[in-house]
């Protein structure tokens, strides 16, 4: 077995931050992506680690791809962060979502079980498994699953596949049940980045309105680098177990948006338009996580609160827009 860590989905937000963290600890990091083009590795480039990650092309849905990479590397640890990651996209593409999330982790577990049984496996589980919570309720590792989207159902299936391989097959694998976590490395298709980018475009005179859907949803939002730090702490244990990773506080989308506009000295009511076509009837209305187990057993806690996270993201967005202006004259 090679003393190397494999990150499946290394080109995404979490994969890039995790690679950066592990490299800083001196780990030998390899990563997979389904294809490499001029834009796919921009997050690794942004963090200045693209040359430090050994890249492999792998589609987790294709078992032969997974076997080829695992047989080549025999990694000591694998983080499965791959798969379709948009709840909204899953509503119109449920089969693709299920394949990339559940079939992907099933292939990885099956291959590791067969040819690299000592490999430790981490699966990125999700707060979407819990579905709607009652206001004030917090979900922990033993809370009931009640998903309401194809994405949530797919994550539940993946979660239980990992549990089965650990409890009945004896593999050293685990789930990290992560609540919402954001950064400037998010795509602007996600609502937090959409709000921040939209507000910054208004501030710089490039847009005049921001169109949003349901502002009455509440989420437990955290800072992505804090959450990948938790992933490492989970995998550093000799015997793996499941943990919820969350801040333990929930805020409304309206509260988040108003703070962004306040930081930019903009009037929220003047620029935001509510578009009923952007509202999803099956949106989770409230979630919040109980991460006390992670705090007590891993000594983990978030280092950045919501407002601090938003301020960092605003600063990065404005900086990126200025670079665009200089490069493209817009």
The answer to whether the CB of 77 falls within 8 A of the CB of 6 is yes
Other CB atoms within 10 Å distance of the CB of residue 320: 14
Q: Which active-site residues does the annotation give?
A: 126, 128, 151
Q: For residue 222, report the phi and psi dihedrals to the nearest 5 degrees.
A: -130, 175
C-alpha–C-alpha distance, residues 149 and 135, integer Å: 20
Tell me the two tokens of residue 307.
């407002």
Residue 127: partners with Cβ closer than 8 Å, 6 or more residues away: 139, 177, 178, 179, 180, 220, 246, 287, 289
Number of H helices, E strands in the chain: 13, 13
The answer to whether the CB of 300 falls within 8 A of the CB of 245 is yes
Write the burial class of residue 299 (CB in 10 Å: 0-12 exposed, 13-18 middle, 19+ buried): exposed
């Amino acid at each position: 077995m090679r003393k190397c860590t494999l990150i499946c989905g290394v080109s995404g937000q979490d994969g890039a931050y995790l690679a950066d963290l592990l490299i800083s600890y001196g780990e030998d990091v390899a990563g997979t992506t389904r294809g490499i083009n001029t834009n796919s590795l921009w997050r690794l480039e942004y963090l200045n680690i693209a040359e430090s990650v050994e890249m492999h092309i792998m589609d987790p849905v294709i078992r032969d791809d997974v076997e080829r990479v695992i047989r080549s590397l025999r990694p000591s640890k694998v983080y499965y962060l791959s798969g379709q990651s948009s709840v909204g996209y899953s509503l119109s593409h449920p089969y693709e979502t299920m394949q990339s999330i559940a079939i992907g982790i099933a292939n990885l577990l099956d291959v590791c079980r067969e040819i690299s049984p000592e490999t430790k496996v981490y699966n990125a589980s999700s707060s979407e498994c819990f579905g709607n919570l009652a206001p004030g309720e917090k979900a922990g590792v033993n809370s009931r699953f009640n998903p309401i989207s194809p994405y949530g159902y797919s994550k539940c299936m993946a979660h239980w596949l990992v549990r089965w391989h650990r409890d009945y097959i004896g593999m050293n694998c685990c789930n990290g049940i992560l609540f919402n976590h954001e950064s400037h490395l998010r795509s602007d298709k996600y609502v937090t980045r959409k709000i921040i980018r939209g507000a910054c475009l208004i501030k710089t005179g490039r847009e005049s309105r921001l169109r949003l859907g349901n502002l009455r949803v509440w989420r437990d939002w955290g800072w992505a680098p804090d959450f990948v730090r938790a992933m490492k702490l989970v995998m550093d244990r000799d015997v793996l177990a499941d943990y919820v990773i969350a801040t333990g506080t929930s805020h409304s989308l309206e509260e988040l948006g108003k703070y962004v506009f306040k930081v930019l000295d903009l009037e929220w009511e003047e620029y935001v338009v509510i578009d009923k076509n952007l509202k999803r009837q099956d949106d989770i209305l409230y979630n919040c996580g109980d991460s006390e187990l992670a705090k007590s057993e891993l000594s983990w806690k978030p280092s950045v609160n919501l407002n601090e996270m938003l301020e960092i993201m605003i600063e990065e967005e404005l900086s990126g827009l200025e670079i665009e202006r200089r490069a493209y004259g817009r």
